[in-house]
Chains A and B, each alone.
Chain A
Amino acid sequence: MSVVALQSVSKCFFRRDGEQLEVLRNIDLDVPERSIVALLGASGCGKSTLLNIIAGLVEPDHGRVLLNGTPSAAFKDWRSMTYMFQEDRLLPWRTAAQNVAFGLEATKLSRAERRVRVAETLDLVGLSQFANVYPYELSGGMRSRVALARSLATEPSILLMDEPFSKLDPSIRAQMHAEVLRIAALRKVTIIFVTHDVEEAVVLADKVVVLHPRPGRVRETISVPLAYPRDPLATAFTDQVRHLRRIL
């Protein structure tokens, strides 16, 4: 069964001058369990809006969103889904551990259970030693890890990511990609992520949905049958990248 399914989803926004702006048109999307799906496209093709619709933060004008087979409006288990933003959005007044605990505070877990969860998750991203450090004392890559840990602490089955590593240095971005793949396999997480970076899509995703802009619509959906970890220098990899670039 697909974890997330979109059926002919459309969305318009009203601009301030009163004109209607069509952001998404007839989007069909099918995300199987434990898959990693990339929404790939240039800016202005409504990728983030699409992610917000899946997250239930934005209502579509037309079409249906099914989460585990349940229509979005009737879906209750929102805590099984977390959202990682383009910025790390760490709360500066909280330590790394307290930031990781943030999402857990919305759950019914006891204080002791939360503490165990936080310690486990910090360990998972390799930051146990930095539990009591404030965000301003952390490097960009470490901050990104804390944000990832915060998204994982609630043990979600679906992880949505909106270009979460686009602001990192290339080498640190590669580290974070490896980290995400390792954790996705370990925690059996389904990932949907937005990117404009073709190589990032091919490194992470087993399914790439190519979007075209104005209005945003699905150009093509291709599967990437390469084994993990993927070597960006291998011929099969570069072929995939070239193929995607052509479609884009």
Chain B
Amino acid sequence: MTDARDVPPTSGPAAMKVSPAAAIERPARAPSATDRRLRTLFLRVGLFVAILVAWQIGSTNAPAFVLPSPERVWRVWISLVATPSFWTDFGITFGRILAGFAFAAVVGTVLGLVLGASRLLGEAFEPLLTVINTVSSAIWAIFALIWFGLSNWTTIFVVFMTAMPLILTNVWQGTRTVNVEFVELAQTFRMSRRQVLTKIYLPTILPPFFSGARLAFGFGARVSLVAESLGATSGIGYRLRQAADLVQTDQVFAWTLTLIALMIVLETLILKPLERHLFKWKERVPG
């Protein structure tokens, strides 16, 4: 439990001596936690090196079009980044992912709220959601190709169909966790429906929305390449297929490296800090 003491009844100067820090719980064995973090770091670096070594050994025993060496992939990547079309393709793919994701976030949130508000609609739509979830992204890509042809919308549609159900489900589940007591509290202050929605519902839904959106973005980014390799004439997915067709395996590896780097950057520079900022009110489990 917290070691916060109660302030005496009379709120005199004596009561002020309790510092806010005293109310904050600290993990009991702080040094061992840092030890463990260091150990994890060492293990991760070791794993990374091991994979590189294995890759290197493998590449010396195989032709370059099967498994190019790390050094070669690195060189290709450097020259790839230097080509002007690299950033164009990168921007096109990223834009398609963002557009599909944005549509998915808006539609998924709105539908999730609607289904959460109406039990009848929720029960009616549940099977449809299962159907959408079971259809493979490759099938969506083929449908999109039939409907939209070789255009941006093919990729955007596939990202949308993959990401939207994930966000919808999480928001919908989130509406079920809204605390009736908080809604009642808002009613005693005579708050409007809109205020109850923004001050009680939205903050409750934000954590499940965030984890759903995170998952949806990751899935969306991955399936966008499938869509692009099937139905686009630009973008990373298209370049990947082109490189594969021409047996430029080192190019395939270089593009893969690019995507991994992109996801790591997004995760550590945007998602993690954003999550920490948004949910600092949550009790951290020590250890």
Contact = CB atoms under 8 A, between A and B. Distances in A.
A134 interface: yes
Report, as a range, how many residues of chain B touch the other chain: 35 or more
A106 B189 contact: yes
Given A123-B11, A126-B11, A178-B9, A142 B23 contact: yes
A83 B188 contact: yes
Contact of A106 (B6, B11, B191): B191
B7 A142 contact: yes
Nearest to A134: B281
B51 interface: no
Contacts of A142: 4, 6-7, 23
B188 A82 contact: yes
Contacts of B30: none
B177 to A, nearest CB: 12
A137 B189 contact: no
Contact of A128 (B2, B16, B184, B185): B16
Given A133-B20, A182-B9, 15 more contacts: A78-B190, A91-B182, A95-B281, A105-B191, A105-B199, A124-B11, A130-B20, A132-B20, A133-B23, A137-B2, A139-B4, A141-B6, A175-B8, A176-B9, A182-B10
B62 interface: no
B281 A93 contact: yes
8 contacts: A83-B185, A123-B11, A125-B11, A126-B15, A137-B4, A172-B6, A175-B6, A176-B9
B189 A102 contact: yes
B25 interface: yes
B19 to A, nearest CB: 7
A237 interface: no
A137 B24 contact: yes
Contacts of A79: 189-190
A173 to B, nearest CB: 11
Contacts of B10: 126, 178, 182
Interface in A171-185: 172, 174-176, 178-179, 182
Interface string B67-104: 00000000000000000000000000000000000000
Nearest to B188: A83
A154 interface: yes
B175 to A, nearest CB: 16
A125 B18 CA distance: 14
A175 B6 CA distance: 9
Nearest to A178: B9
A226 interface: no
A94 interface: yes
B189 A129 contact: no
A85 B203 contact: no
B4 A91 contact: no
Interface size class of A (residues with CB under 8 A): 35 or more
A120 interface: no
Nearest to A130: B20
A106 B195 contact: yes
A139 B281 contact: no
Contacts of A91: 182, 199-200, 203
A197 interface: no
A245 interface: no
A89 interface: yes
Contact of B281 (A92, A124, A178, A182): A92
A92 B182 CA distance: 10
Given A89-B182, A124-B11, A129-B16, A137 B23 contact: yes
A55 interface: yes
A127 interface: yes
Contact of A85 (B18, B19, B181): B181
